[in-house]
């Protein structure tokens, strides 16, 4: 197995690599398109603003095009998941366009501050390989102000005033809005499940 973690500058990268190390898997942090193409699995993390993350990816010649053409399993995490969609309200930025749809900011509510921060329950019907050994109602850790709406791509949702996509899947492209590296046992299971995916899925 060759796991490439794309260096998007997120502050969560060290904790993500540590969580993967605990699974006994080595990873390489890189922006080298050749190394990303050669990997068996690719993770795109992200923390902060979508526009900043996209700008960082675009600074490496060929990286965005490489990401768009990947056929091996790829997992976007938090802002990394949001970048998989066509666009984001955050900075009105065009994103990678691997998934249809637009990421939007949570509506302001007196009783629910934005960002959505803390533990929340996953809602889903079993079926996705990402959710093996994970149960509806299990808790994972979120920190985000923007989210993707529920759609046919949604394999698990959560609710914060409104229902939103917590996990999405389309072919070889997967996205987790929550932080598996901060989600204890459930996050470890999700990362394990992702790393067990084969390119043919």
Two tokens, residue 150: 């529920």
Rounded to whole angstroms, the Cα distance separating 44 from 168 reads: 14
Two tokens, residue 165: 């996509």
Does residue 140 contact residue 134 with C-beta atoms inside 8 Å?
Answer: no
Cis peptide, bond prior to residue 171, ω within 30 of zero: no
Rounded to whole angstroms, the Cα distance separating 35 from 63 reads: 10
Strands 74-77 and 146-147, bridge-based pairing? unpaired
The string over 164-192, giving b where at least 16 C-beta atoms fall within 10 Å of a residue's C-beta and e elsewhere, is: bbbbbbeebbbbbbbbbbbbeebbbbbbb
Of 8, 12, 13, nearest to 64 (Cα)? 8
Rounded to whole angstroms, the Cα distance separating 104 from 82 reads: 9
Does residue 84 contact residue 46 with C-beta atoms inside 8 Å?
Answer: no
Residues annotated catalytic, as ranges:
78, 179, 181
């Amino acid at each position: 197995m060759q796991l490439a973690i794309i260096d998007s500058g997120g502050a969560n990268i060290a904790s993500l690599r540590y969580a993967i190390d605990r699974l006994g898997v080595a990873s390489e942090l890189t922006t080298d398109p050749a190394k990303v193409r050669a990997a068996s699995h690719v993770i795109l993390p992200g923390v902060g603003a979508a526009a900043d993350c996209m700008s960082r990816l675009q600074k490496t010649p060929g990286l965005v095009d490489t990401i768009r053409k990947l056929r091996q399993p790829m997992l976007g995490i938090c802002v990394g998941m949001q970048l998989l969609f066509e666009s984001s309200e955050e900075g009105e930025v065009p994103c990678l366009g691997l998934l249809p749809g637009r990421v939007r900011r949570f509506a302001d509510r007196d009783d629910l501050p934005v960002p959505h921060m803390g533990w929340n329950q996953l809602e889903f019907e079993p079926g996705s390989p990402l959710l093996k050994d994970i149960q509806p109602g299990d808790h994972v850790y979120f920190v985000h102000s923007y989210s993707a709406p529920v759609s046919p791509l949604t394999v698990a949702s959560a609710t914060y005033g409104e229902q939103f996509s917590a996990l999405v899947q389309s072919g070889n492209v997967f996205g987790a809005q929550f932080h598996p590296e901060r989600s204890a046992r459930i996050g470890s299971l999700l990362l394990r499940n992702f790393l067990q995916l084969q390119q043919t899925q």
